Amino acid sequence: MSGAAALYRLPVYAACTALALAITYCLGKDVPWDELDYHIYAGLSACNDRFAQDYFAAGPQSYFNPYAYAPMYAMLRAGLSSLAIGTLWTLFDSTMLWLTYELALAVCPLAAPRGRAAFGLCAVALALVNPVLLQQIGSSYSDITTGVPVLWGWLLLVTAVRAPGLAPLLAAAALLGAATALKLTNAVHALAATVMLLALPVPPRAKVRYAAAYALAGIAVFAIVAAPWAYRLERAFGNPFFPLFNDLFRSPYFITQPLRAVRFIPASLPEALSRPFAMLDPTPGVHEESRAPDGRYALLLILACLLPLAWLWRRRAAPASPAPAAAPWAARVLTALGCAFAVDWALWLWTSGNGRYALAPACVAAVLIVALLLLLTGPRPARWIALALAACGLQAFNLYMNSTGLRHFALPWDRGPWLTVELPQALAAEPALYLSIGANSNAYLAAYVSKQAGFINFTGYYPIRATGADGARVQALIRRYAPHLRFLTAGDRLYDDLKHLPNVSDVNGALARFGLRVEPADCATITVRAARQVANSPVGVTHLVTCRVVPGASADDAPQPAALKSADLVLDRLEAACPELFQPSGALTEFRNHRYERVYLNTDVFAWVSRGYVKMWNPIIADAPIFLGAEADWLRAPQRVVCGRRAGHDFARVVAADQPLTPDPARIFPR
């Protein structure tokens, strides 16, 4: 970048950071579900060896590389206020906007400093109206934290395409390798970035040497960053990526079927091709759990389709007219970046389709939109700047009208702590083993009780068996901590009434497989405040209840062997009839909420047998439960089921022997 253009860098950086801070303060403090489930626990685990005292404390996420979450835990332990923590997070998160500006300058074909600065600012504006980016600014999510080195790596590769050099390639490989080690979903972006190596303006042999250097450097840095945690996982479980890739390493402590969250993955090729336009729809579950309408990808696709048509029209109308992009490297750089983005988009859809995992490519998309507008309309600023600002305004209006709140759980900022945990002094000092119940493990509590306390989320999205290696591990911890055993779950108290949760019957039913039962006379309530109480408002206040657990399962509340055997047979047959929805198969059947239930990690589906009927439900999609026939029919013989996923929704229906198994669109989602 020329010296004149460089004068704009510092004020642009300052403006980006100031705007990010303003957005963070206006949107409020976010204490999302994931933070309470595993973010804080992961940071604790990164700074303390918890392997000997915990077991799946935060479910399968307990063992993901935790180092990206260590800063959050460090700030909590330092006693920083909510406002200070949010400010520090935002200061770092704003660097993604800085990198977007730099990437825009690196691909901008204009020569005038003001035009280049305007090009970069338009790209930043389009990057900033990403609903997922706005959702995460100033929060504990690691997607921006690890997305910054991804975007930086892509920027360095673009620099290398402009002017070949080994240093930027090695630096890019290091950044992408480190980002992948900290969050494996970034492997998609590291792989897609290799497409840009094909555009290096060097002979083929030199390209091979550069590609080899890039690959070796990326693998080396990945290994260096991943090694400390991978070594601990290998020693504890026999799998350096535990619980992932256990179909290869086959650790006895986890299922050996592949894990693949299909929540946002298109169910068919037409769905994949239409995803850019589906993301315009302000409905939850398209590429994010909440409403996150985003029209930028549809715009990018339309502009990309118009570009060859515009080129043909210009060539026919005025063959001798100069191209808008005067820089000799511009076409090569934009083509390389566009192809890498297209590959990244395809890999992202195939592996996850989750908008949280594509924050860096979303910034690349913003740069490509501005570049295509410039190429389509010519170098005159009045045209492409107006169109870019109009696109930005339309996306901002779409968010304003159709989003239900960009934060998952918005709270007012204050100078109090991020979380205030009020618990009896006895609990703070007691080195107890907490057996947590629920989809949210509430593992963050490990940071507030005795350092010697242990945690097991034994029933949730990954129920733990009482047999095999799992059972041996749990029983060993139970013997080690006895008689200091407690259960933990969300709720203000433990109820005797079956109509309220949590109740004694359900808790005993869950504990029964370990030969334990709850002692209702020895309970305590933990109050957690995520914001200062204002005018007795319960906003930001949650309660957890914990009770003493003692040996001796309750015979009245334990699952009945005959009923459990029948439920296992029914659910096994259901899995065989519809493997697309009920995966991974062979999940543990639990007795809770007075029903025999299985949870399927890959698809988020719950299936259960209760009161003689078979049903399923996906709580993420939040559609109504689906009736799948009578238990007696399934016990008599396997049933034929037409099932699958369409447009982000699950469908399943038992059909008669003479009916086709081909889905009828009119009957999948009846009005």
Residue scoring higher pLDDT (283 or 343): 343
First-residue to last-residue Cα distance in the chain: 58
* pLDDT digits 0-9 by tens, 635-651: 999 999 999 988 788 99
Residues with Cβ within 8 Å of 358's Cβ and at least 6 positions away in sequence, in order, are 344, 348
Going by DSSP bridges, is the β-strand pair 590-592/541-551 parallel, antiparallel, or unpaired?
A: unpaired
Residue 490's beta-bridge partner residues? 544
Phi-psi region of 394 (alpha: psi -120 to 50; beta: other; left: phi over 0): alpha
* pLDDT digits 0-9 by tens, 577-623: 999 999 999 889 998 878 899 999 999 999 999 999 999 999 888 78
Q: What is the band of 533 on the pLDDT scale with cuts at 50, 70, 90?
A: low
- Strand (E) or helix (H) holding 391: helix 381-402
Residue 151 has pLDDT above 60, yes or no: yes
Taking a C-beta distance cutoff of 8 angstroms, is the pair 90, 20 a contact?
yes
Tokens at 547, concatenated: 């009770």
Give me the pLDDT at residue 3, please.
Answer: 52
Give me the pLDDT at residue 7, please.
Answer: 64
Give me the pLDDT at residue 287, please.
Answer: 87
User: Cα–Cα distance between 642 and 504 in angstroms, integer?
Assistant: 38
* pLDDT digits 0-9 by tens, 216-260: 999 999 999 999 999 999 999 999 999 999 999 999 999 999 888
Q: What is the band of 337 on the pLDDT scale with cuts at 50, 70, 90?
A: very high
Give me the pLDDT at residue 461, please.
Answer: 87
Q: For the residues of 97-130, what is the DSSP string, one character each? A: HHHHHHHHHHH----SHHHHHHHHHHHHHHHHT-
300, amino acid identity: L
User: Cα–Cα distance between 490 and 432 in angstroms, integer?
Assistant: 18
Residue 405 has pLDDT above 80, yes or no: no
Give me the pLDDT at residue 6, please.
Answer: 60
Give me the pLDDT at residue 325, please.
Answer: 45
Name the burial class of residue 113, with classes exposed (0-12), middle (13-18) and buried (19+) by CB atoms within 10 angstroms of its CB. Answer: middle
For residue 546, CA distances in Å to 442, 491, 565 come to 12, 9, 31
pTM comes to 0.92
For residue 359, CA distances in Å to 43, 581, 582 come to 22, 28, 30
Residue scoring higher pLDDT (324 or 653): 653
- Strand (E) or helix (H) holding 527: strand 516-529
Q: Name the DSSP class of 313.
A: H
Taking the alpha carbons of 407, 410, 415, 418 in that order, is the dihedral positive or negative? negative
Nearest CA among 20, 29, 36 for reference residue 133: 20
**Mean pLDDT, residues 37-44:** 95
Give me the pLDDT at residue 1, please.
Answer: 46
Q: What is the band of 671 on the pLDDT scale with cuts at 50, 70, 90?
A: very low
* pLDDT digits 0-9 by tens, 60-110: 999 999 999 999 999 999 999 999 999 999 999 999 999 999 999 999 988
Give me the pLDDT at residue 666, please.
Answer: 53
Taking a C-beta distance cutoff of 8 angstroms, is the pair 148, 99 a contact?
yes
Q: What are phi and psi of 109, to 5 degrees?
A: -85, -5
Q: What is the band of 386 on the pLDDT scale with cuts at 50, 70, 90?
A: very high
Mapped to the 3 state alphabet, what secondary structure does 223-239 carry? Answer: HHHHHHHHHHHHHHHCC
User: Cα–Cα distance between 443 and 63 in angstroms, integer?
Assistant: 13
Taking a C-beta distance cutoff of 8 angstroms, is the pair 322, 109 a contact?
no
Q: 508 in helix, strand or coil? A: helix
* CA max distance for the chain: 90
Helix, strand, coil abundance in the chain, percent, nearest 5? 50, 15, 35
Rounded mean pLDDT of the chain? Answer: 90
Name the burial class of residue 475, with classes exposed (0-12), middle (13-18) and buried (19+) by CB atoms within 10 angstroms of its CB. Answer: middle
Q: For the residues of 26-60, what is the DSSP string, one character each? A: HH-EE--HHIIIIIHHHHHHHHS--TTT-BSEEEE
Taking a C-beta distance cutoff of 8 angstroms, is the pair 456, 57 a contact?
yes
Taking a C-beta distance cutoff of 8 angstroms, is the pair 620, 289 a contact?
yes
Tokens at 171, concatenated: 């630096």
User: Cα–Cα distance between 358 and 133 in angstroms, integer?
Assistant: 10
For residue 623, CA distances in Å to 14, 402, 647, 669 come to 45, 20, 13, 10
Taking a C-beta distance cutoff of 8 angstroms, is the pair 123, 101 a contact?
yes
305, amino acid identity: C
Taking a C-beta distance cutoff of 8 angstroms, is the pair 249, 241 a contact?
yes
Half-sphere exposure (CA, 13 Å, Cβ side) for 254?
A: 29
User: Cα–Cα distance between 390 and 393 in angstroms, integer?
Assistant: 5
b/e map 213-223, b = 16+ CB within 10 Å: ebeebbeebbe
Taking a C-beta distance cutoff of 8 angstroms, is the pair 652, 641 a contact?
yes
For residue 588, CA distances in Å to 54, 443, 578, 607, 671 come to 21, 22, 17, 11, 34
